[in-house]
Structure 1
C-alpha cells in the first residue's frame, strides 16, 4: 500500500560521481574515450593532410591563406551563433573549435582546389569534408556526452526499440503476471488541450503496475530532457533504465510511473517548456500529459503524487512548472538548470520565446512567479548542480577575477542567469540553483542544493537522477528502505 508523502522528506546526501559511477555507460564501444574517437580524429586529420599535400609549392602560396580564411570564418560563425543563441551553459572546449577549424579547412581545400591534382586526390579532398565533420560531432559529443557509446548512437539513428519496449495493446496480456522488469510503452498523447505538435512519447510502467487484476494507483514522475532532445534521451543518452530496474528489483517492483515527454516537438526547437511562438509546450505538459496518463494507466491524480525531473533546459522546466502549477506537481528535481526560461540573454529570450511580450516572460519567470504566488505549503525541490574543477576554483579565488566578475554583473545584469550566464565563475549553474532555492525558501518551498564536480553532460544527469530517485520515490508516497516517511 502506498503511503502519504512526508511533509518534509529527508534530502539525500548526494554521492560524488566517483561513488555513483555512470551506470550503463560502458555497454558497447565508447564514443567518449578510447580508441574509436582517436581513430576518427586520425582519419580526419590524415585525409585533410593528403588533400592539402596535392598542391604544389606555387599553389600553396595563395591557396593556404584562402584555406586559413575558410577555417577561421567557420570557427567565427560557429562561435558567434553558439553565443548568440545561448546554446551552452559552459564554455566550449578549445578542442571543439580546433575540430571546427579543420572542417572549415577541408571545405576550403576542396573548393579552391577542385581542378588540381589527380582524380583520386580530388576524391580524398572531398572525403575530408565528411570526415572532419564527423570529427566535430565526436568532439561535440565528448563535451556533452549525448551518445556515450556507438551502440547508443546507432540505436538512436536507426530508431531501435527501447529496452523492454512493448505496445499498449500488449499490456492486457501481461496483467497479473510476473514481468520481471518494467515495460516502456510508446504513446501518442492527444493534443486536445494544447494543439502542440509533438513526437512519440514514452511511459515506463514498473513491475508492480502489472500485479493484480487491475493496476495500482501509482505516482508519476515527468522526465524532461535538455535543449536539443528527443523523448528517448533519458533512456538512450542517459541510459538510466538499468538503475531504474535495479531499484525496482530491490523495492518489490514498486517505483513511480515515468513519463518521458516531448518538450520541443522537434530536436532543435527550444521551447523552454513555455507557451509562445515555438509552440504551447507548457499546455501540453500540464494539460495533455497528466490527463492522458491518469486515464490510460490509472495513475494518481493527487498533486502530492506527481513529480518532475529535468536535466539542463529540462531542469529549468521542472522548477518553472512546479512553481506555476503547485496544484499539479508537488515535487521537482532540477539538474543543472538555468535561472529561468532562456534562449540567449533576457531581451533575446523575450523575443524568441514570447514574441517580444515581456508580460508573457514574467508569467513564466520562476522568481517572479514565486514572489507573486506567496507561500507554497506542499512544494519540495532538490537542485543538483555542478561545481568547477580545482583549477577553476583556484582561478576564481584570484581577487582580480572576482573584481572582473563583479564588474560583468554590474555592466550587464540583464544577462544574469540567461543563456547559461549566471554571473558565477563556474562550469555549471550553481548560482542559478542557489538563487532559486533562496527565493523558494522565502515562500516556504522546502529545497536543498547539492553540488558535484563534473561537466555539463548526460553522464552527470544520469548520476544525479540515480542519486535522487529513491528520495523522489519516497517523497511521492512509495515506501523505500532506509528512507523514513
Structure 2
C-alpha cells in the first residue's frame, strides 16, 4: 500500500472540521496525581520550608553570628553560580523563575546547616537539618519540573524512573505474530539502530507502528515522521513527557488505522549531551539521523524512502534540528515542524557555539547554520514547513499568521506552568519569522503559528496534536474530514 505524495495544502485554506474540544487538549496530562499543580507540589514545598526553618532555628549566639551568615553566603553563591552556568551554556530558552534559584540556594544553605549544625541544637533539630537537604532537593526538582513540564504526573515520573514499558510496547520479535491481525491500536517497539553510516554512540530508540502496518501479509509502505525531543532528552520523551500517544491512537481509530510510522530518535547519546543534531566534538548526531535511522527504518519496517514520505518534527532544540535537517537534506525530508526552536544550532553565544559544537571550526558552523544553508542551496522544490512559535509575531507584508488545514488554535489555558516572564532566549525570539521569511525566498512553503505561553512539554504536545492531521495528509495518507 504505497501512498503517493499529495500537493502541499494552500497557505490560506478554507476552514476545516475541528476535533471536539475534549480531543484538542492534553490527553493523559490530567490523568493521575499532578506534579505541575495541586496538592503534591504544595505538600513538598511545605515540608521543605518547615524542615529548613527548624534546621536554621538555632538559639545560640555563635550560630547567629557565625554559622548563619556562612549558610546564607553559601546559598547565595551556589544559586548565583547555577544561574551563571545555565546562562553561559545556553541551557534554557526561557529564563528560569526566581523561585528555582531560591530553591537551589536554600538547598545549599540547608546542606551547610546540616554539616555545621551536627554539634549544636537538640537532637530533633539535627534530624530536621539532615532531612531538610533531600526535602529541599525534592522541592527544587518539583519547581524545575513545573517550569519545563517534563513530568506532568507522579505516574509519569515513576514510569521514567523505573524505565517501565511505553504504552502498547511489544518486543520487536513479537511483530511477526501480530501480522494480519486486527490490532485496535498501534504498537511501540524498542530498537537498537546500528551505526551503519555514523560513529555516533546512542541509546535505544523507539518506533510506533500504526494498526495499518499490521494489515495484510506484509507491511504496507507507509510514510515516516522523525520525532526529536528537546535538550536534556531521552528518546522516549515524546511519549512519557509529551504523552502524545492517546492523540495518535484516537486519530488512528478515526482514520481506519492509518497514520505515519513514528520514529523517536536519540539526538544526544546521553541525557546531558546537547549535540544540536550537528556533527562535532559532541558526536556525529547529524550522520546518525540522516544515515543510520532512514536506512534502518526502510530495511526493517519497509517504510517509504523518498522525501515526500518523510517529515521531521522537533520541540525546542529538536525544533532547531527539524529545520536544519530539512534545509540541509531536502532529498530526505520534504516536511518539517519546528516547535519553539532557535534560529540555528546554539550552545551559548556564536563564539561559544563554534567552540563547543564544532571544535572552533567556523566553516562547520556555516555548514549547519540554516540561514546560510538556505542561501547557499538556492531554490527548493516541494519543501513545506510549519513553525509553531512562542514569540509575538512580527507583522509585515510577507508574514501571515494562519493555520494549515485541521490545526486547532493553541490557547493559553492549554499550556502548563512554565517560565512565563515574557523574555525569550535571543536565538529563539523572532526565529520562526526570520527562518520562514528566508525560506520563502528560496521556495520553501511555510507558515508561522504563534502562541502565548510557556516553553513546556505541554505546549509541545499541543502543537503536535494540532499539526498531526495536516502532517498525515501532507505525507500522502487520506484523512477523514480534512480538506486537502
Per the normalisation by structure 2, the TM-score is 0.90
Aligned partner of 2:253 among 249, 252, 260 = 249
SS in 2 for 1:470: helix
* 1:180 paired residue number: 184
Aligned to 1:437: 436
1:229 maps to 233
Aligned to 2:483: 484
* Pair 1:42-2:40 in alignment: no
Partner of 2:460: 461
Q: Give distance in 2, aligned partners of 1:121 and 1:176.
A: 66
List per-residue Cα deviations over 1:102-144 (Å, max 9, x = no partner). 1122122123323212344223212111110111110010000
- After the TM superposition, which residues 62-461 of structure 1 pair with which residues of structure 2 at under 5 Å, given as runs? 62-387=66-391, 426=424, 429-461=428-460
On the 8 A contact 1:166/1:184 being kept in 2, the answer is: yes
Take 1:118 and 1:81, find their aligned partners in 2: how far apart are those partners? Answer: 38
Q: Retained in 2: the 8 A contact 1:224–1:263?
A: yes
- Aligned to 1:307, the other structure's residue is in SS state strand
Q: Deviations over 1:164-204 (max 9, x none)?
A: 00011100000000011000000000012112110010000
Q: Which residue in the other structure is 1:53 paired with?
A: 57
Give the Å deviation of 1:10.
4.0
Unaligned runs of 5+ in 1: 397-423
Find the counterpart in structure 2 of residue 405 from structure 1: none
Q: Which residue of the partner structure matches residue 5 of structure 1?
A: 5
Q: Hey, what does 2:407 align to over in structure 1?
A: none
User: Would the aligned equivalents of 2:95 and 2:424 in 1 still touch at CA under 8 Å?
Assistant: no
Conserved 8 A contact 2:313-2:338: yes
In the alignment, structure 2 segments of 5+ residues that lack a partner are 395-421
With 97-106 and 115-124 compared, the bigger mean Cα shift is at 115-124
CA-to-aligned-CA distance 1:355-409 (integer Å, 9 cap, x gap): 0000001000000000000000111000001146xxxx9xx9xxxxxxxxxxxxx
Q: Take 1:339 and 1:328, find their aligned partners in 2: how far apart are those partners?
A: 21
**Contact preservation (8 Å) 1:386, 1:427:** no
Partner of 1:333, secondary structure, is strand
d(CA) in 1 for partners of 2:258, 2:117 = 64
Q: Which residue of 1 aligns with 2:402?
A: none
Distance 2:43 2:217 in 1: 55
1:67 deviates by 1.2
Once the two structures are TM-superposed, the CA of residue 484 in structure 1 deviates from its matched residue by 3.1
2:412 matched to which residue of 1?
Answer: none
Q: Distance in 1 between matches of 2:158 and 2:35?
A: 11
CA distance in 1, matches of 2:72, 2:289: 47
Any runs of at least 4 consecutive aligned residues in structure 1 with deviations exceeding 3 A, and if so which? 10-16, 424-430
Could you say what secondary structure the match of 1:323 adopts?
Answer: helix
CA contact (8 A) 1:277 1:353 kept: yes
On the 8 A contact 2:311/2:335 being kept in 1, the answer is yes
What is the CA deviation profile of residues 340-367 of structure 1, one whole-angstrom value per residue up to 9, with x for unaligned ones? 0001111101000000000001000000
The answer to whether the Cα contact below 8 Å between 2:391 and 2:430 also exists between their aligned partners in 1 is: no
Output the CA distance in 2 between the equivalents of 1:327 and 1:459: 32
Cα distance, 1:70 vs. partner?
Answer: 1.0
Over the aligned positions, Cα root-mean-square deviation in angstroms equals 2.1
Listed one character per residue, the Cα deviations across residues 206-260 of structure 1 (whole Å, up to 9, x for unaligned) are: 0000001111000000000001100000000000000000000010000000000
Higher mean C-alpha deviation, range 21-30 or range 159-168: 21-30
TM-score scaled by length of structure 1: 0.90
CA distance in 2, matches of 1:280, 1:76: 33
Is the Cα contact below 8 Å between 1:71 and 1:103 reproduced in 2? yes
Q: Is the 8 A contact 1:343 1:352 kept in 2?
A: yes
